[in-house]
Chains A and B, each alone.
Chain A
Amino acid sequence: MEEKQVKQKVLDILKPYVREPEDLVNATEETDILNDLKVNSSRLVDIILAIEDEFDIEVSDDEADDVLTVGDAVKLITGKI
């Protein structure tokens, strides 16, 4: 799977959790999930679980803690599939 496709899937996963859905339109690799997309920090676990289900991968706690931006999520996923 190409990095671009992974990014699109990550953005789809994030969609239900962002406060303003239009923020996703201009999201780049550097977009901060908590600060730029205003995702509630307690929903990060749901996002990680959704990523695990979507890509059939396992993410450790330490790896999950390192996911701060959209790019971090894409990098984590591409490194595991």
Chain B
Amino acid sequence: MSQISANNMDPVLNDRVQFVNQEITKMITTLPVKIRFKRSFQRWLSWLLFPVLAPVIIFILRYVRKNRIEDHKKIRMLFKRIAAESKIPTLICANHLTKVDSIYIHHAFASIPYYWFHFRLFSWNIPAKENFWTNPVDRLVTYLGKCIPIVRTGSPEHHKEVLNTLRYLMFKGELCTVFPEGGRSETGRIDVENVRYGVGNILNGLPDYRVICVYMRARTQEGLSDMPPIGDSIYFDFKVITPQSVAKGRRAERDIARTIIQKLKDMEDTYFAGKNN
């Protein structure tokens, strides 16, 4: 993992370069080898069993739940273009209404064979351990689905370790998905005031990055639920942004997180404006 070089002509840029280099060093030195190995092994095993598990899940989505992603071909074509464009660290940030949102995002963005050959694009997730770690089947599926469980009420050290792991994976070119609201939207709408700054924390220490903001909603979905309604078509919109801040530390993290949640809110407003016309 290499550090980036400073530009002697620009003190502001130098300041940023210095900060990012410190963050990269911190990332390498503070993330234990054991964790890096654990995630590499998880990735390998997920990839190996992907052709077995993924078709079952897609079958359930398409033929049991009968959900259909609107403009699916167009979404996949655009995603492929964006993904192929560059390997810079990419974070997917989405609104959150159902327990299976991340699965629908995977399904929307690419096909099983495409993921098989470009497995870094099958994004990592950080589901709440209390929701998905309750029985062996859920554990296995989430493990093979490239999930890193997070304990919401866990210690600051635990949270730092998970965020640091995500940052490390993104730096290696892997995609990651997070829900900036931290949990599902209780009102069924994005609550801008409820944003978690962890998303800003992940991005702030990276030299370069982009965020794919995803707004997804089943057409008859009112509030939060476990699954999208059966037979419903899924509205799916995404935009690529690069949120930045001139501030440092926590303030930068807050600025970045707020930019992302505001973008998602704008996308939600667009959805409802279109629905009401």
Which residues of A pack against B, CB within 8 Å? 40, 42, 45-46, 48-49, 61, 64-65
Contacts and interface: CB of A to CB of B under 8 A. Distances in A.
A45 B194 contact: no
A42 B195 contact: yes
Contact of A42 (B156, B197, B250): B197
B149 interface: no
Contact of B182 (A42, A45, A61, A65): A42
A49 B258 CA distance: 15
B204 to A, nearest CB: 12
A-side interface mostly: helix
A42 B254 contact: no
Contacts of B196: 42
Nearest to B181: A42
B-side interface mostly: helix
19 contacts: A40-B194, A42-B182, A42-B194, A42-B195, A42-B196, A42-B197, A45-B197, A45-B250, A45-B253, A45-B254, A46-B254, A48-B250, A49-B250, A49-B251, A49-B254, A61-B156, A61-B250, A64-B250, A65-B156
B257 to A, nearest CB: 9
Interface string B226-254: 00000000000000000000000011011
Contacts of A48: 250
A78 B250 CA distance: 21
Interface string B177-215: 000001000000000001111000000000000000000
Interface string B247-268: 0001101100000000000000
Contacts of A65: 156
The 7 closest A-B pairs by CB, nearest first: A65-B156, A42-B196, A45-B197, A45-B250, A49-B250, A42-B182, A49-B251
B180 to A, nearest CB: 10
Q: Which residue, of B195, B250, B254, has the highest number of chain A Cβ atoms within 10 A?
A: B250
B36 to A, nearest CB: 22
A45 to B, nearest CB: 5
Given A42-B196, A45-B253, A46-B254, 5 more contacts: A42-B197, A45-B197, A49-B251, A64-B250, A65-B156
